[in-house]
Amino acid sequence: MSLAELTLHEAAARLRKREFSAVELTESVYRRIAETDAQVRAYLTLAQESALEAARRADERLKEDGAAAPALLGMPLALKDNFLTRNIRTTCGSKILGDFIPPYEATATAKLRGAGAVIVGKTNLDEFAMGSSCESSAFFPTRNPWDLERIPGGSSGGSAAAVAADQCLAALGTDTGGSIRQPAACCGVVGLKPTYGRVSRYGIIAFASSMDQVGPLAKDVRDAAILLEAIAGHDPADSTSAPQAVPDYQAALSGAVRGLRIGAPKEYFVSGMDAEVEQAVRAALRQFESGGAVVEEISLPHTEYAVAVYYIIATAEASSNLARYDGMRFGCRADAEDLTETYRITRAAGFGAEVKRRIMLGTYVLSAGYYDAYYLKAQRVRALIKRDFDAAFQRCDVIVTPTAPTTAFKLGEKTQDPLKMYLSDIFTISANLAGLPGLSLPCGFDSAGMPIGMQLVGRTFDEATILRAAHFYEQATEWNKRKAKLKSKK
């Protein structure tokens, strides 16, 4: 077994026993990348020199700290390429930031570095995190390690694919409408979107600021808990960061769900979704019942409006956030005769089609005469969606749904139909609108051998309960132990 195949907690335990060094672990990950990334294309930038130096420092620190060393010391991790990383290129999957090297560090990545983690590199994503398939990257599409002709999901597709292909031990992504959970489902890994405000957004390239959230993609639930504990907490640099204490998430992994009340919303089991997906999630609900949980059908009546609401609010916020990319202070710049023409040419050349589409949609809904009809109304319906969840959590502790209506689809299958692409996130968007934590984990495979994801949604700041429920299910089944049969090829 290659060291790159280990989980975080397995690698950390063996590292402390001196079975191998952090340098050897990091070198194993880079060998795996060299063998497989020509097929998967998960990475945009590798940071091998600085990573090996960080691994050497981790080995020195381990000698001093011993068993008291942080859980992430020496662990090779990947970062979605919308995290600002000091002295490492950060593109956000866009030509407009093609050569941008940030002068400062995101809070989440600074916490990882402080814990001694090794940053392997920056992973591919849909441009400015706008997409569900990792096909709108300005550089190249990423492929699913389970089937190289299929998408890995998006927008954190590179991070999910890298974890599934053992090209890192775990990774960070961001989730605005499902961009951690949906690729986790497509690639058969665990993906967690924390409560809005649980993790600092400082140093994350903004898409939709009222919904963006940082979270882990990992090989199992325990690893997700370890990573979340490392990056969570209040940050004075982020005005939306919540001053909430960070629980011991690993302690929550008791393996027991007896008495847990689970809600299955009828609006998430609808005609048009893949029958194999529905069967797998319903079988998972029966597994919870066998462990002593109580499952009941619930209703979230405003679910049908979630996609429309999301694509009004998210595009409006994107229109505002992306106004800063004008070629004046950073990023690419096209020379022209006057300022207006410079803006026009720079943005036309720097932004891709999907980003332009969302900027135009957002500008339209914020424009005079349409603000009340679209944006203001969408915010009111958003409040109703949040109210649905508040009512549901009076009756249940966790809500269980499919993560996505289908398994990973073929590359190019939906690129010409944006509406079909947007529906890939139909089951994940509501949690972002309501600011709730959501987790996806594998719950089966379809007849084509592709992973099926199950989503668990919890109360505000109650990541511990969804981690506990997910851990019970993971321990009761074998789905997470399957590996993508990706052949090494240099």
Amino acid identity at 424: S
Q: Could you tell me if residue 32 is inside a domain?
A: yes
pLDDT for position 328 = 79
The CATH number covering residue 420 comes to: 3.90.1300.10
pLDDT for position 101 = 95
Q: Could you tell me if residue 159 is inside a domain?
A: yes
Structural Rg of the chain based on CA atoms: 21
Helices (H), 291-406: 306-321, 339-350, 353-366, 377-392
Q: Could you tell me if residue 172 is inside a domain?
A: yes
Asked, as a colleague might, if the bond just before 21 is cis with ω within 30 of 0, I would say no
In terms of C-beta density within 10 A (0-12 exposed, 13-18 middle, 19 or more buried), how is residue 16 classed? middle
How many structural domains comprise the chain?
Answer: 1
DSSP run (H or E) holding 213? strand 213-218
Amino acid identity at 461: F
Question: Tokens standing for 183?
Answer: 């690729």
Active site residues: 80, 155, 179
Q: Could you tell me if residue 30 is inside a domain?
A: yes
Q: Could you tell me if residue 377 is inside a domain?
A: no
pLDDT for position 272 = 83
**How large is the angle between the packed helices 221-231 and 107-114, nearest 10 degrees?**
110
Short-list 165, 325, 224, 201, CA closest to 8: 224
Q: Could you tell me if residue 370 is inside a domain?
A: no
Owning domain of residue 43: 3-263+394-481
Sheet holding 190-193, edge to edge: 43-46, 118-123, 76-80, 170-175, 213-218, 190-193, 438-445, 451-458, 398-402, 261-265, 294-298
Distance CA 169, CA 230 (A): 15
pLDDT for position 418 = 84
Q: Could you tell me if residue 374 is inside a domain?
A: no
pLDDT for position 37 = 98
Distance CA 350, CA 333 (A): 8
Measured in whole angstroms, the distance separating CA 133 from the mean position of its chain's CA atoms is: 12
pLDDT for position 26 = 98
The one-digit pLDDT tens for each residue of the chain (490 residues) are: 899 999 999 999 999 999 999 999 999 999 999 999 999 999 999 999 999 999 999 999 999 888 788 999 999 999 999 999 999 999 999 999 999 999 999 999 999 999 999 999 999 999 999 999 999 999 999 999 999 999 999 999 999 999 999 999 999 999 999 999 999 999 999 999 999 999 999 999 999 999 999 999 999 999 999 999 999 999 999 999 999 999 999 999 998 999 999 999 999 998 889 999 999 999 999 999 999 999 999 999 999 999 999 999 999 999 999 999 987 777 777 777 788 888 888 888 889 999 999 999 999 999 988 999 999 999 999 999 999 999 999 999 999 999 999 999 999 999 888 888 988 899 999 999 999 999 999 999 999 999 999 999 999 999 999 999 999 999 999 999 999 988 655 4
pLDDT for position 220 = 98
Q: Are 12 and 73 in contact (CB under 8 A)?
A: yes
Q: Could you tell me if residue 164 is inside a domain?
A: yes
pLDDT for position 338 = 80
